[in-house]
């Protein structure tokens, strides 16, 4: 299996204080696979994710190699990074509201994104988006395209981001806590859509999550982070069934217990009961 992304000695630090946030992390992502990064809040999961896209804000700085398609992302100028973002490296944010421009309707924002990457007519853009929106179970897509972000629920905004990914067909999707802000039923729907997206497109994914039930459902391999360091890695099932590091054992024992209700939802029990 071809390595699509190779990260070597990634370090992120606060340039004002000198405090290291990510300590020389190294990992890779295989073509068509899903890698999860797990850990408690403050472990460095989201900072790592944003570092791959060079989206961490000042005063954070980063060094090391992020090799994608033969290029070291860390050394690319911002103009070239903008070409990579979206079309090749696509991020699904934790808070869907933050992904869209609150000052314009959804359709106008989406068309602006697609114009950056494709030479399509307005009709082609609209037809592609409508089809993608229907595939992620968004009803009345024409009406949704006339709405402002604040008029849609968190689950709808997450599915809009997934629909846009279907149209763009990126090489790598980075999903940063994609279900945290959602109710349980919406979590189920978004996870199902992410699974379908991966199956349909064959794209690679990096999923950031503290919910181990979701990770077990989505990921082939997992990295466990604590205080900015990777403390354990391996195949998801192996790490969760027989963790070696004490911190991983703690995470598995506490997080899987907290995720028990979601597990029942994923197995369909709660949906049947509520139906």
Please report, in tens digits, the pLDDT of each residue of the chain (275 residues total). 799 999 999 999 999 999 999 999 999 999 999 999 999 999 999 999 999 999 999 999 999 999 998 889 999 999 999 889 999 999 998 888 888 999 999 999 999 999 999 999 999 999 999 999 999 889 999 999 999 999 999 889 989 999 999 999 999 999 998 888 788 778 888 889 899 888 888 889 999 998 888 899 999 999 999 999 999 999 999 999 999 999 999 999 887 665 565 556 656 654 444 44
Residue 57 DSSP one-character state: P
pLDDT for 275: 40
CB atoms within 10 A of CB 249: 13
Give residue 211's pLDDT: 86
What is the widest separation between alpha-carbon atoms in the chain? 56
> Which fold, 3-274?
Rossmann fold (3.40.50)
Between strands 60-68 and 204-209, the pairing is unpaired
Omega before 120 cis (within 30°)?
no
- Note the pLDDT of residue 206: 97
Q: Which of 266, 270, 92 is nearest to 181 (CA)?
A: 92
3-state secondary structure at position 54: coil
Provide the 8-state DSSP code for 245: S
Q: Give the model's pLDDT for residue 272.
A: 44
pLDDT confidence of residue 210: 85
| Residue 260: predicted pLDDT | 61
Check residue 273 and give its pLDDT.
41
Contacts 24+ apart (CB under 8 A), 126-135: 128/167, 129/163, 129/164, 129/167, 132/163, 132/164, 132/166, 132/167, 133/159, 133/160, 133/163, 135/163, 135/166, 135/196
Polymer length in residues for the chain: 275
Bridge partners of 65, per DSSP, are 8
Q: Of all helices (H) and strands (E), which one includes residue 71?
A: strand 71-72
Please give the Cα distance from 190 to 211 (Å, whole number).
14
């Amino acid at each position: 299996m071809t390595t699509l992304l190779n990260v070597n000695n990634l370090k992120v630090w606060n340039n004002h204080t000198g405090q290291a946030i990510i300590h020389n992390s190294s990992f890779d992502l295989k073509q068509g696979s899903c890698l999860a990064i797990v850990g408690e809040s403050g472990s460095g999961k989201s900072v790592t994710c944003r570092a791959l896209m060079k989206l961490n804000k000042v005063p954070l700085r980063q060094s090391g190699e992020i090799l994608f398609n033969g290029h070291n992302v860390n050394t690319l100028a911002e103009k070239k990074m903008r070409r990579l973002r979206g079309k090749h490296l696509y991020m699904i944010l934790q808070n869907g509201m933050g992904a869209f421009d609150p000052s314009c309707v959804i359709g106008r924002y989406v068309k602006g994104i697609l114009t950056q990457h494709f030479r399509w007519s307005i009709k082609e853009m609209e037809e592609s988006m409508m089809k993608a929106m229907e595939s992620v179970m968004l009803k009345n897509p024409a009406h949704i395209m006339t709405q402002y972000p604040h008029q849609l629920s968190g689950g709808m905004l997450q599915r809009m981001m997934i629909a846009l990914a279907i149209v763009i067909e990126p090489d790598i999707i980075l999903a940063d806590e994609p279900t945290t802000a959602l109710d349980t039923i919406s979590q189920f729907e978004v996870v199902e859509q992410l699974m379908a997206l991966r199956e349909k497109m064959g794209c690679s994914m990096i999923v950031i999550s503290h919910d181990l039930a979701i990770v077990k459902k989505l990921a082939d391999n997992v990295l466990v982070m604590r205080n900015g360091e990777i403390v354990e890695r391996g195949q998801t099932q192996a790490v969760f069934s027989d963790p070696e590091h004490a911190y991983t054992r703690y995470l598995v024992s506490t997080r899987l217990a907290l995720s028990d209700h979601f597990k029942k939802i994923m197995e369909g029990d709660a949906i049947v009961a509520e139906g």
